[in-house]
Amino acid sequence: MKKPDPVKLADWQIAAALESALKPITQVAREFGLAEREIILMGPHVAKIDPVPLLDRLPRPRGRYVDVTAINPTPFGEGKTTTTLGLVQGLGAGGLSVSGAIRQPSSGPTFNLKGSAAGGGLSQCLPLAPFSLGLTGDIDCVTNANNLAMVALTARMQHERNYDDARLARTRMRRLDIDPARVQMRWAMDFCAQALRSVMIGRGGALDGFEMESGFYISVASEVMAILAVARDLADLRARMGRIVVALDKSGRPVTTADLEVDGAMTAWMVRALQPNLMQSAEGQPMLVHAGPFANLAVGQSSVIADLVGTRLADYHVTESGFGADIGYEKFWNIKCRASGLTPDAVVLVATIRALKLHGGGPAVKPGQPLDAVYTREQVGLVEAGCENLRAHIEIIQRSGIRPVVCLNAFGSDTPAERQVVRRAAEGAGARFAVSDHWLKGGEGARELAEAVVEACRDPHAFAFLSPLDEPLSRRIETLAREIYGADGVDYTVAAQERLAGLEKDPATAALPICMAKTQYSLSHDPARVGRPRGWRLPIRDFLVYGGAGWIVPVAGDIKLMPGTTSDPNFRRIAVDTSTGAVMGIN
């Protein structure tokens, strides 16, 4: 089959051309090493994997474990998922047994601006329409489990207002005395619906619910999604589901889903969602698509279970971390690896000339607007200045004990002189370097990157966490700010300082990992501070406790849990061919 030309065709057109040659998913599963009883067919090209018999059959990992992260991106993204797929294809083109794991896309970005995150060009996860339009319903399960908790919470508040203690006792309820001003949870919807960020609920009479301020977050920002990403098995998921803090009572004590007696029913929604989805790359390698938590608030990783499966079946398993190494890799390193027990053999750091120019002082890159001509013309000086951001991310990965592989994701507008600047900067900072042209050429275009990764997996390394969990919480936050972000220190609002003192009084809570909430566009808390900011301090304005997921979230900056829809959203271009039923226009 002649390969489609990525220069002339949109991604959805390329996907349509490639899908005619897809392997049956039963063949992908068989070649991957899955037994028939370990897969659940969800169509000719999609299946779920039952991890229970597989992990019983193969109790120990055998494959090399590779993480893909990036420098701080532009709003368009720098092709991290595309590079993950390209690397999987490049390793496969070299005759190696390989699998990949990527996050499931949210409908919010798919129908808004960023797209479906299926990769691009000749490095895509296929088939594209099922991947982009709900897949096997995992995000629906997350949404329903989250909203069931909100139903339980709001109903309980209504009944406690309307019933005296005797009537509560007859219905086998104890008074939780929930403070309506300190409800932590929100309703979930998997679209970018800024009009629902803040709403009033319960308007009407006594039977119409408890009147209070509430709101929605996008489903992938729900703690239920975060739990899906880090749970090792169903028992672990069940235990975590009962530890979600939905509100505080009027004495400041946490009220959990277990207190509401809704955690078992929430888990029932999540049983099938816990099973990873099996798809394939454009060149037929197995791709595990599972979980998709927010990266700048939650852990930003595909699931622990997907990686446990991949490292048992493939010689090389490639997993993707969200956003830059300051967020995505740092959370992979200090949260996900703690949860999984796996440690990486190699780390790929994706960079583009475009992002380096931005970090070197180029004009602002704005979503939905054309790129300035600076980004498509040779600008060696901007690239050289932007390499300070690259060096910072190299140092972050080196701090974990791993020598990274810098992958320059090739664009047609790159020039040899610009690429040479990046090579010198990467190698001068102690990293390996490779150019990858997977978008244009698929696996053959990623052979240089694949060879560099294989060599990197042979490097001796001493992986170590950033801080031990028994260190005081405030000291661990200070270490993260100084050693990873490059801050001069940490400043707390009065409210955050009081919250920190309260957290440190509880030894179990104070020993949870840190999951910082901050912008993805800068090493700092401020998206406008591009490059490698100097002379700044990290401001912490609040703390959230994700008791089910198992981490503490210091909040630095204004993070929107419900994104807004742009003035030119992707849904304007998505349509259906009514003669065939084929979906068109997904990017």
Domains and CATH numbers, the chain: 54-105+281-457 (3.40.50.300), 138-263 (3.30.1510.10), 473-555 (3.10.410.10)
According to the model, what pLDDT value does residue 420 have?
98
Q: Are 215 and 199 in contact (CB under 8 A)?
A: yes
Where does 512-573 show beta strands of DSSP type E? 538-540, 542-546, 551-555
Residue 117: alpha-carbon gap to chain centroid: 11
Distance in angstroms (rounded) separating the CA atoms of residues 210 and 153: 10
Distance in angstroms (rounded) separating the CA atoms of residues 467 and 363: 37
Q: Give the β-pairing of 123-126 and 178-183.
A: unpaired
Distance in angstroms (rounded) separating the CA atoms of residues 274 and 162: 38
Q: Is the pLDDT of residue 368 over 80?
A: no
According to the model, what pLDDT value does residue 278 have?
98
According to the model, what pLDDT value does residue 402 have?
98
Residue at 364: amino acid letter: A
The separation between the first and the last C-alpha atoms of the chain, rounded to the nearest angstrom, is 23
Instruction: Report helix, strand or coil for 567.
Output: coil
DSSP letters, 459-490, are S------SS-TTS-HHHHHHHIIIIII--S-E
Q: Are 80 and 300 in contact (CB under 8 A)?
A: no
Kindly report, residue by residue over 13-37, the tens digit of the pLDDT: 999 999 999 999 999 999 999 999 9
Residue at 458: amino acid letter: R
- In sequence order, the 6+-apart residues with CB closer than 8 A to the CB of 167 are none
Q: Where are the alpha helices (DSSP H) in 321-472?
A: 330-331, 337-340, 353-359, 380-399, 416-428, 438-441, 447-457
Q: Are 499 and 554 in contact (CB under 8 A)?
A: no
Kindly report, residue by residue over 388-435, the tens digit of the pLDDT: 999 999 999 999 999 999 999 999 999 999 999 999 999 999 999 999
Q: Is the pLDDT of residue 76 over 90?
A: no
Q: Are 65 and 319 in contact (CB under 8 A)?
A: yes
Catalytic residues: 80, 82, 103, 114, 295, 323, 411, 439
Q: Quick one: what percent of the chain has pLDDT higher than 70?
A: 100
Q: Is the pLDDT of residue 1 over 70?
A: no
Q: Are 223 and 517 in contact (CB under 8 A)?
A: no
Q: Is the pLDDT of residue 366 over 90?
A: no
What rounded mean pLDDT belongs to the chain?
A: 95
According to the model, what pLDDT value does residue 17 have?
95
Q: What does the pLDDT average to over 131-139?
A: 96
According to the model, what pLDDT value does residue 495 have?
94
According to the model, what pLDDT value does residue 523 have?
97
